[in-house]
Amino acid sequence: MIESYIQRQLKKKSTLLMTHIVMGYPTFETSYEIVEKMVSAGVDIMELQIPFSEPIADGPVILKANQKALSGGATVQKCFDFASAVTKKFSIPFLFMSYYNILFKYGIERFTDKMVEVGIKGAIVPDLPPEEGQEYIEAMTKNNLDPIFIFTPATSDKRMLYIESFGSGLIYCIARRGVTGAQTSFSDQINDYLLRCRKATKLPLAIGFGVKNRSDIQFLKGKVDIAVIGSETIRLVDKEGVNAIGDFILNLRQDTP
């Protein structure tokens, strides 16, 4: 369970940083280098996405990364092998992110047992609502893993309380409607939404979908516990290469003690 880890980290930092990679993009070897650069630069938690052919919550940047990883030979087994390698090497918690079809085809209980074996601490499955996820929730709970659920700006207060009752570890707050990677305006308009999220749960709050730079993280300080960077790091690798990742993460960390 990662909640206790998050609370310990929050005693040292006002806002934690969670990053997201698509395993196997552009290759598994490069994915490992990216993880290494991110951890060295101070990332606190990382999502490892298992590539899927129809990642409905993801925008064009992550969609392209999924497609290229699959065309390059990424498989669920290779992703488990990759996860095992990074959890053994690096001390931060790693989460899986993928879509329910992956878990269903693999077998829910078998999948969660394998998560324990390879050292993964929890999972984000954006297309699985809790009322359809009883088998998944039970298997995660049995294995002491965190099923991480999602709030959106369209989620009612009543629905937030319902979703929260099934989650553990943290709640992932989507900053706006739509898919990953698009422009998000981090302004006072988002405050009411984040206040509703905070009121609905005592779990740590992470926010993603559009976090791009240090000013976004500065704005979010005190409003959420974890800022999530996804599409922006993939763009950076595509444009400038793996070696640009470390400085980018370090820059995000400036002025966020």
DSSP 106-170: H-HHHHHHHHHHHT--EEE-TT--GGG-HHHHHHHHHTT-EEEEEE-TT--HHHHHHHHTT--S-
Active-site annotation, residues:
47, 58
Give every CB contact of residue 125 below 8 A, 6+ residues apart in sequence.
Answer: 97, 98, 99, 100, 103, 133, 136, 147
pLDDT of 224 higher than 60: yes
Range 3-249 has CATH code 3.20.20.70: yes
**46-60, 114-128, 229-243: least confidently modelled range:** 46-60
- Quote the pTM value: 0.92
Structure confidence by residue, pLDDT tens digits, 86-96 = 999 999 999 99
pLDDT of 145 higher than 50: yes
Domain segments of the chain: what residues?
3-249
pLDDT of 208 higher than 80: yes
pLDDT of 177 higher than 90: no
Residue 179 confidence (pLDDT): 40
**53-57, 97-101, 195-199, 220-224: least confidently modelled range:** 53-57
